[in-house]
Structure 1
Amino acid sequence: MEWVAVLLVFLGLCVLLNLLLPQPPPARWRRRVQRSGSRLTGRLRRHTVPEPDPFDTLRLQTRLGHVAEEIRRVESARIYAKAHRLMALEAAYDDLLDEACRLAGVREEADLERGEEKRWLEEQELASRGWSW
């Protein structure tokens, strides 16, 4: 019988607390506060850029070396469809240079189209950062 009295006292205290404490804000206010809070924490949170994996850099340098060697071999040889092979190899070399520049943190030259000038500038920037292939 004592447990019933304890239960009634507990329920009475819950009713009193519910009457005394303020009601939760409407759902739209909670959503607005939540959005503002998430924007604020997104601005305050530090965005760290992960360091590139050195093995990825090494693999990329090796691939650049192989493609450059293949370009030199095709340019010096007398083979069938030489122009098509050179275009394909130079496109692959340009893609690898772009990826290498992204890994090395080289600023992208937006005004330059693919070609000898852009390729030369990217090679110089990578060489100045210690890349070799």
Structure 2
Amino acid sequence: MEWVAALLLFVFMCGLLNLMLPQPPASRWRRGVQALAGRLARRLRRRTVPEPDPFDTLRLQTRLGHLAGEIRRIETAPGVYARAHRLMAVEAAYDDLLDEACRLAGIPTEAELKRGEEKRWREEQELASRGWSW
């Protein structure tokens, strides 16, 4: 037990001596080791994923609802000029918003599916199962 106390006293004295003596300039080897340790620490450090802002989610849901209503209006209105062009443009915007909503909700995207009814339906079902409504 006495040897533990002597060891602790020795380490304490070495620490005090290190504080009292002037520090030598850092060598190239020491700077390299410090840089390597810093890179390793940054790589191993856990990256926290920030929680999505609920107001961004609400804005996105509101915009999805607006575009879904616009699609229904274009499909049902008999006298819409350039109906096909407008419908394609609104559906493309809707698909982009669905992709962004899936990213916010943490839903993995299926890259092999092309844009269309099947992908849109799957994304809407996944979002609805996670409590999204628009």
Instruction: Name the TM-score, length of structure 2 as normaliser.
Output: 0.77
Q: Give the deviation of 1:33 after TM superposition.
A: 1.6
- Give per-residue Cα distances to partners, 1:15-68, cap 9 Å, x unaligned: xx78xx87642x3x3443233112211133121101111111111000000000
Structure 1 segments (4+ residues) deviating >3 Å: 21-24
The share of aligned pairs that are identical, in percent, is: 75
The residue type equivalent to 1:54 in the other structure is: P
Query: In structure 2, do the counterparts of structure 1 residues 23 and 132 end up closer, same or farther at CA, with 3 Å as the change threshold?
Result: closer
Residue in 2 aligned with 1:8? none
Specify every segment of 5 or more residues in structure 1 that has no aligned partner in the other structure, as ranges: 1-16
Call closer, same or farther: CA 1:38–1:76 in 2, change over 3 Å. same
1:130 is matched with which residue? 131
Alignment of 1:1-133 (within 5 A): 24-25=26-27, 27=28, 29-77=29-77, 78-133=79-134
Name the TM-score, length of structure 1 as normaliser: 0.77
RMSD: 1.8
Equivalent residue pairs, number: 113
**CA 1:56–1:120: 2 relative to 1, 3 Å:** same
Q: Work out the CA distance in 2 between the residues paired with 1:62 and 1:23.
A: 61
Distance 1:84 1:36 in 2: 57
Partner of 2:16: none
Deviates more, 1:109-118 or 1:67-76: 109-118
When residues 68 and 22 of structure 1 are mapped into structure 2, their CA distance, relative to the original with a 3 A threshold, is closer
- Distance in 1, matches of 2:26 and 2:58, equals 58
